[in-house]
C-alpha cells in the first residue's frame, strides 16, 4: 500500500523570519499565502486576547483546499497593558524604544493552525529586558532601518540584540514563531489530534 501524502502546509505570512524559523526545524511550506486582515486592536482589548484573535483571524482568512493546513502567527510587544505593534514611522519607533529602554516588557506570540474546520492554538509569553539606551544608540538603530515591520520597533535577532540585557522564555517566539510549540501543533494537525490549549 502506498502511504498517503502528507497534507500540504500553507504559511499565512510573508515574514521571511518565520520562513527561516520553520527551516530550522526542517519544515518547508508548500505555499505562502499571506493573510490580509485589519490588525487594529479593539477598544479595551487586552494584549493576550488581541494577539490570540489576530493569529486566529489570519488563519481563517487564508483560502485553503480540503485537508490543507494553514499556519498563522502574530507577535506583539506589551508594556503593561499597552500594545506596541509595528511602528508606522521612525518617530513612533523612537517613542517605543524610549518606553522600553531600561525596563522589562513582554513579547506575546500566538500561533494558530487550521485544517478544515478544526483549529489548534498556542500563546507563548516571553519577558525581555532592554538595558538603558542613549539617544545616540536609538538614533543609530533607527538609521539602520531594522525597526521597520517589527513589533515594538526592534528585532532581537538583529542589531537590537546588543540592547537585550536578559530574556526569560522563548527566543524564537520573540523573533516571530515559537518552534517547540509549532512542531507540536503541526504533529497534531497532521494527525487531526486534539490538543489542550496551553500558555507559557
pLDDT digits (tens, 9 = 90+) for 166-180: 999 999 999 999 999
Whether 87 has a pLDDT exceeding 90, the answer reads: yes
Q: What is the pLDDT of residue 192?
A: 80
Kindly state the average pLDDT of the residues 76-99: 95
Question: For all residues of the chain together, what is the average pLDDT?
Answer: 93
Q: Write the CB contacts of 142 (distance below 8 Å, at least 6 apart in sequence).
A: 90, 93, 94, 97
Pairing of strands 9-11, 31-32: parallel
Global pTM value: 0.90
pLDDT of residue 142: 97
What are the residue numbers of the active site?
Answer: 74
Full DSSP string of 44-111: T--HHHHHHHHHHHHHHHS---TTPEEEEEEEEEEETTEEE---SSHHHHHHHHHHHTTSEEEEEEEE
SS3 state at 195: coil
Question: Which whole number is the average pLDDT over 74-79?
Answer: 95
Spatial distance between the Cα atoms of 195 and 134, rounded to a whole number of angstroms: 45
Residue 6, pLDDT score = 82
pLDDT confidence band for 4 (50 / 70 / 90): low
**Rounded to an integer, what distance in angstroms lies between the CA atom of residue 162 and that of residue 127?**
16
Pairwise CA distance, residues 191 & 189, whole Å = 5
The vertex-111 CA angle with 108 and 114, nearest 5°, equals 160
pLDDT at 105: 97
Q: In the predicted model, what is the mean pLDDT of residues 153-164?
A: 95
Fold classification of 9-191 (topology level): Maf protein (3.90.950)
* pLDDT score recorded for residue 199: 47
pLDDT at 190 over 50: yes
Amino acid at each position: 500500500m502506498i502511504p498517503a501524502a502528507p497534507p500540504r502546509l500553507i504559511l499565512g505570512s510573508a515574514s521571511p523570519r518565520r520562513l527561516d524559523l520553520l527551516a530550522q526545524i526542517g519544515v518547508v511550506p508548500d505555499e505562502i499565502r499571506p493573510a490580509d486582515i485589519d490588525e487594529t486592536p479593539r477598544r479595551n482589548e487586552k494584549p493576550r486576547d488581541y494577539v490570540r484573535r489576530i493569529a486566529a483571524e489570519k488563519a481563517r482568512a487564508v483560502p485553503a483546499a480540503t485537508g490543507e493546513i494553514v499556519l498563522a502567527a502574530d507577535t506583539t510587544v506589551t508594556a503593561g497593558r499597552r500594545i506596541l505593534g509595528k511602528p508606522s514611522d521612525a518617530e513612533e519607533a523612537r517613542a517605543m524604544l524610549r518606553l522600553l529602554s531600561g525596563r522589562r516588557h513582554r513579547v506575546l506570540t500566538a500561533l494558530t493552525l487550521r485544517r478544515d474546520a478544526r483549529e489548534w492554538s498556542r500563546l507563548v509569553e516571553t519577558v525581555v529586558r532592554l538595558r538603558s539606551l542613549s539617544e545616540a544608540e536609538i538614533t543609530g538603530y533607527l538609521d539602520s532601518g531594522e525597526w521597520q515591520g517589527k513589533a515594538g520597533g526592534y528585532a532581537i535577532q538583529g542589531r537590537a540584540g546588543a540592547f537585550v540585557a536578559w530574556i526569560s522564555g522563548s527566543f524564537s517566539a520573540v523573533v516571530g514563531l515559537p518552534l517547540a510549540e509549532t512542531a507540536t501543533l503541526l504533529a497534531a494537525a497532521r494527525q487531526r489530534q486534539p490538543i489542550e490549549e496551553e500558555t507559557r
